[in-house]
Amino acid sequence: MSPAIHTHADENRLREAVCDIGRSIFERGLTAGSSGNISVRLEDGWLFTPTNVSLGRLDPARLSKLDLASRHVAGDAPSKESFLHRAMYEERPQAGAIVHLHATHSAAVSCIDGLDHDNCIPPFTAYYVMKIGRLPLIPYYRPGDPRLGDAIRGCACRHCAVLLANHGPVVSGTTLDAAVNAIEELEETAKLFLLLRNTPTRPLDERQIEELNAVFGPAGQSG
Ligand SMILES: [Zn+2]
């Protein structure tokens, strides 16, 4: 799939889209307070949601703009978690947008002991397999620790989504809509995982996953 590099002509539309989607995410309770951040790739850099601002109250004119060397060139200061996004963009040239949320059910799963670190949520549904695929668990580091970025770099070329332990998910997509749809699918599947914790389950088997990958392509190779 070709990279979703946005042109200058798209920038204003993307600024509005980031704010509209941020408001929708906040109003539906998918992240709280000033947590969560969104970024989109531009032809000449990136737009990031600013630090210490609720996703529910973003201003298109004040989004942070970084140039191709990751220098802050316009708008408010970027989210302190922007390095998580940059680590993922470095490994995923096809990524056009990244969303990170402290979504309740995904964050709850990220605190469970004994998860499979290579794939921490079972493949319960076809849409989860198609949008997320395998979900690695990134070990806990304190907020801002550069080792978090290093850990993301270590697996992001193979995965469009990662779950940060005791924290929340980081998900990329070829477009902003694709990234948001994928992180919402992840959050819903995390909810299923928690609902089913004490129930014998029947996730999709290897043959069923191979069939999905053959028909729709592996999720980790798209955005
Ligand atoms: Zn976070």
Banded pLDDT at 1 (limits 50, 70, 90):
very low
Distance 41 CA to ligand 1 centre (A): 20
Residue with the bigger pLDDT between 49 and 8: it is 49
pLDDT at 172 over 80: yes
Distance 167 CA to ligand 1 centre (A): 6
* C-alpha–C-alpha distance, residues 94 and 73, integer Å: 24
Compute the average pLDDT of residues 105-109. 98
Give the per-residue pLDDT at 2: 45
CB 90 within 8 A of CB 117: no
Give the per-residue pLDDT at 96: 96
pLDDT at 5 over 80: no
Give the per-residue pLDDT at 219: 86
Model confidence pLDDT, tens digit, residues 36-78:
999 999 999 999 999 999 999 999 999 999 999 999 999 999 9
- Diameter of the chain by CA atoms? 53
CB 36 within 8 A of CB 101: yes
* C-alpha–C-alpha distance, residues 100 and 117, integer Å: 19
Distance 174 CA to ligand 1 centre (A): 21
DSSP annotation of 75 reads S
Is the pTM here over 0.85, yes or no?
A: yes
CB 129 within 8 A of CB 156: no
Distance 100 CA to ligand 1 centre (A): 6
* E-strand stretches of 30-182: 37-42, 45-48, 64-67, 72-74, 97-100, 137-138, 161-164, 168-173
User: In this structure, what is the dihedral angle of CA atoms 157, 162, 164, 166, given to the nearest 10 degrees?
Assistant: -160
Distance 31 CA to ligand 1 centre (A): 10
pLDDT at 4 over 70: no
Task: Give which of 105, 102, 222, 114 is closest to 164, Cα–Cα.
Answer: 102
What's the chain's average pLDDT?
94
**What amino acid positions are annotated as catalytic residues?**
81, 127
Give the per-residue pLDDT at 8: 62
* C-alpha–C-alpha distance, residues 104 and 30, integer Å: 7
Model confidence pLDDT, tens digit, residues 183-218:
999 999 999 999 999 999 999 999 999 999 999 998
